[in-house]
Every structure is written in structure tokens, then in C-alpha cells.
Amino acid sequence: MNQFNTEAEKQQYYIEQMGVWYQERKKELGRDLSCCIVTMGCQMNEKDSEKLLGVLESIGFVETESEEADITLFNTCTVRENANTKLYGHLGYVKKMKEKNPNMIVGLCGCMMQEDIVVEKIKKSYRFVDLIFGTHNIFKLAELLYHYTKSNSPIIDIWEGTTEIVEDLPSDRKFSFKSGVNIMYGCNNFCSYCIVPYVRGRERSRKPEDILKEIKQLAAEGVKEVMLLGQNVNSYGKNLEKPVSFGELLQMVEQVDGIERIRFMTPHPKDLSDELIEVMANSSKICHHMHLPMQSGSTKLLSAMNRHYTKEDFLNLAYKIKERIPGVSFTTDIIVGFPGETEEDFEETLDVVRKVKFDSAYTYVYSKRTGTPAAMMDCQVDKDTIKDRFDRLLKTIKEGSRDNRKHGVGKTEPVLVEAVNDHEEGMMTGRLSSNILVHFKGEKELVGKIVQVKITEEKGFYYIGEQING
Ligand code: SAH
Ligand code: SF4
Ligand code: F3S
């Protein structure tokens, strides 16, 4: 790395160089330059976008919501086909913007860019794109921009994979009071339908000391809630020089003063240990919410999906957690229409939904991803059948969550106030430990504070309540 001790130092150098470029451009234009980051996909991408924004703001750029900015970056997702379609929609619009303002810089990054066919298509049909990079080198934004401004020709830099984790880059958080914290990157599970391991690479865990340093800093800045992020958080720490379990990491995070709530996403049912359940049960900070992706209730399909658990394993795990952590709230992910899904298989999924009573669920229509084993499987399910099953699934999930909601009414619980409610004057929106939203009358100064709210009414997926003083 020549004259630099760390990658962060090197990037800091490029940020400063770009800062010089920025000031010259600002002088020429007589105004500040704007930047816009459009984020698609999951919390990993949202977190990455905070880092991209941190770098751009360190250079001097001023954030705007409008895609008609001096630099617009699309942080892409490819988990399902509709994520890809969405990007091409945006690009059609941005092309017109760039015709109006040829100095505009358009960049694409994130998961979709890790697919060769996508990059080929962009190079051929979207020639106005200036910058393409992937998931493994987002830390290089300032350096890539520097080379772009020097050469004024498109820069494409995609890495196949990486073992590197770059720490200490700037970041601009979306919320002042809560923050995602990466604890690991990548995934080794290769569920047969899923493209994530191909675009995010193999599992890499951050060192506990780096994670704790970040969380202490967040606490010092006033953050009350952290969400520990990884594709399979309970395989955290296995490959560290000194292995640390996810349960142990949680206990360390609990010690950080100022952090009042801890969440995590996503655990994999196959790796969910008794240790983790105990740590959660004994903790006053870890939220009693378990997002446990089930995908299907059919043991046959779970096997074809390469999930490594059966319907019974999943049910037993859910019962065990409910018993040890009374009042725990469950949410899940479910795929409808996986190749070969029969009516009987689907009934098994409904059966688990009825038994576990999820508080909510992300439901997805199976999407064929080129390069995954499931894409080669026969018996793709037809569209009408999928639509019918999807509707029945939503109805069943709703019935379960309504049932759960009824038990909440009358209770008084701590709520982290997140925002002013846009729909109703004078109302605020906050989140219970269970992750369920509650709307209540309050002042906007409450945002970021934890207050006691008495739940007065259930509305299906959310509650109405009133603040209790003191
Ligand atoms: N690592 C997490 C999240 C992965 S992506 C996990 O294991 O749960 C989030 C969700 O997208 C998955 O849980 C799955 O339900 C869904 N998903 C992934 N690939 C999909 C595909 N090809 N078609 C439809 N849904 C998919
Ligand atoms: Fe995809 Fe499975 Fe990894 Fe989740 S655990 S990211 S669904 S391969
Ligand atoms: Fe999408 Fe990448 Fe997340 S494919 S779901 S943004 S890891």
C-alpha cells in the first residue's frame, strides 16, 4: 500500500484530492454540487449507502433526494428479478437528466454489478454510465471518482471476491437514534434459490473489538438502538483467529453504556443455538423479536432449498423460543411457488403460519435467478396458482397477527419514538421492543427518545396508544 498504513488512510487521501477537485468545480459553477444515492435491496445495502454518502459528503457534496443531481449513485439489488427491472426503469429516467446536464456523474454499484451479464448489458446499452463497481470495493468510491475525474472516461472495477474488511471509513447515518452495524459480510449457505452468496462472497466476520469500537462511538453520538447485520448472524465469529460465538458477541454489545436496545438480522434456523435463546431471555437490552426466515413449511421443499431443517425442526425451535421468552414476537420470510411446490407443500406452509402466528411476514413470489441450482429445476409453478396461494398466505398471516395483537392491548411498554406520523396531525410513530409500530399523540421533540406508551387499540399490523408520563 506504499505510503499508506491502512486502506482507510489511502481512501482519506483520495477524499482530500477529490475535495480539491470539488472546490474548483464549485467555483466554476458558483454553487455547491449535489449528490443522490438511490438504495435498493436489504439493510446491507442501506448500510453500504450510508458509507457511500459519508465519502461523498466528506468530499463536499450536498445530499439531495432528487435523482437529477451532480452525482447519482444506484446501489443495486438482484435478489429477485423485479429488483433488476427497477434499476432499468431508473436508468431510462437518468439518461434524460444526463442529456440535460452532461457533467452529471452516474454510478452503479452493489449486488447487481457482481453479475457479468448485467455489466455487459450496461456497457452495451447504457453507455452514459460513468462508474461501475461492486459489493467488495465500495470503500474505494473516492479513489474511483478521482480516476474518473482525471481520465474523464468510464471506470469499471468489479472484484470477484475479497477477504478484506476495511474499517474506519466515514459514514452518514440516516437516523440519529438508531443504526445498523455490520458484524459480518457474505454468506456460505447457498440456499438453492438464492443469488446472495454469488454476489456478496464468502462469510467474513468483523473482529469483536472493531464492532465494539463502532458501537461505543455510536453510543457517544446518541444512538440508542443498534441492529447487528449479517446474512446469517448466528454463524458469526466461526472463522475469526480467536473464534467468538454470536451469543458472546451479543453479551459484549450489551455492556456498552448508552445502547438501550439491540436487534439483529438475520439468523438462520439451522444454526440457532440454545446459547442464543438463553442470552436473549436473560437480557434487558436485546429486543424480544425474532426474525426467523422459514421460506417454506414443507420438509420436501426445505430440502430442495438446501435449508438444512425440517418442518418439525422449525416448529420445535419456534415453540422453544416462545416458551423461554414469553411474549416474543416472530416475523419471517416465505417464498411462494418454489419449483415443484404442490398444493400439499403449500398447505404445510399455511399450517406452520397458523401454528407460529407470525406478527408479520415478508412474502415473495419465487424468482428464478440465473446461476443458482433452483433455476435448473423442473416443475416451475404457473402464475395463476402462485397468485392464488399468495393471497391465501397473506390472509392466513393476517389472521395470526390479529390474534397476537389482541394480547397487547392494555399493556404499557417502552417505545422508541422514530418519527412524526405523516398521516395524522399531532401523532407520533414509535417502535415496541417486538418491532411492532405504535402511533400515539405526542410532540415532535420526542423523536429519538424512549417513552412509556399504553396500548389502547390494535389495528392488525400496528397499534394505537397513549403516552404515559413519568
Ligand atoms: N440471509 C437472509 C436474507 C436473504 S434475502 C436469510 O437467509 O433469510 C431475503 C429473502 O429474500 C430471503 O429470506 C428469501 O425469502 C427471499 N429470496 C431470496 N432469493 C429469492 C428468490 N430467488 N426468489 C424469491 N425470494 C427470494
Ligand atoms: Fe440467501 Fe440462504 Fe444465504 Fe440467506 S442464508 S443469503 S437465503 S443463501
Ligand atoms: Fe439484494 Fe444484495 Fe441485499 S442482492 S437483498 S441488496 S445482499
pLDDT tens for 122-172 read 999 999 999 999 999 999 999 999 999 999 899 999 999 988 899 888 999
- Indicate if ligand 1 lies below 6 Å from the C-beta of 199: no
Total number of residues shown for the chain: 470
- Indicate if ligand 3 lies below 6 Å from the C-beta of 109: no
- Indicate if ligand 2 lies below 6 Å from the C-beta of 294: no
What is the Å distance from ligand 1's center to 142 Cα? 31
Q: Which sign does the torsion angle of CA 370, 374, 380, 383 carry?
A: negative
Shortest-distance atom of ligand 2 to CA 232: 5
What is the Å distance from ligand 3's center to 459 Cα? 31
- Indicate if ligand 2 lies below 6 Å from the C-beta of 231: yes
Neighbours of 375 (CB within 10 A): 15
What pLDDT is stored for residue 405 in this prediction?
87
- Indicate if ligand 3 lies below 6 Å from the C-beta of 200: yes
Which residue's alpha carbon is at the smallest distance from atom 5 of ligand 2? Answer: 189
Among all bound ligands, the one having the nearest atom to the CA of 295 is: 1
Question: What percent of the chain shows pLDDT beyond 90?
Answer: 93
User: Which amino acid, one-letter code, is at 432?
Assistant: L
What is the Å distance from ligand 1's center to 326 Cα? 28
The vertex-452 CA angle with 448 and 454, nearest 5°, equals: 130
- Indicate if ligand 2 lies below 6 Å from the C-beta of 189: yes
What is the Å distance from ligand 1's center to 334 Cα? 8
Pocket probe mutation, ligand 2, options 42, 114, 190, 196, max atoms within 8 Å of Cβ:
196
What is the Å distance from ligand 2's center to 424 Cα? 38
Q: What is the pLDDT of residues 92-129, one digit of tens each?
A: 999 999 999 999 999 999 999 999 999 999 999 999 99
What is the Å distance from ligand 1's center to 368 Cα? 12
Pocket probe mutation, ligand 3, options 38, 40, 45, 204, max atoms within 8 Å of Cβ:
45
Predicted model pTM: 0.95
To the nearest 10°, the Cα dihedral for 273, 277, 279, 281?
-170
What pLDDT is stored for residue 167 in this prediction?
87
What pLDDT is stored for residue 470 in this prediction?
59
Nearest in space to 250 (alpha carbons), one of 282, 292, 202: 282
* Parallel/antiparallel/unpaired status of strands 412-420 and 450-458: antiparallel
d(Cα 67, Cα 107) in Å, to the nearest integer? Answer: 12
Q: What is the pLDDT of residues 267-320, one digit of tens each?
A: 999 999 999 999 999 999 999 999 999 999 999 999 999 999 999 999 999 999
Shortest-distance atom of ligand 2 to CA 307: 2
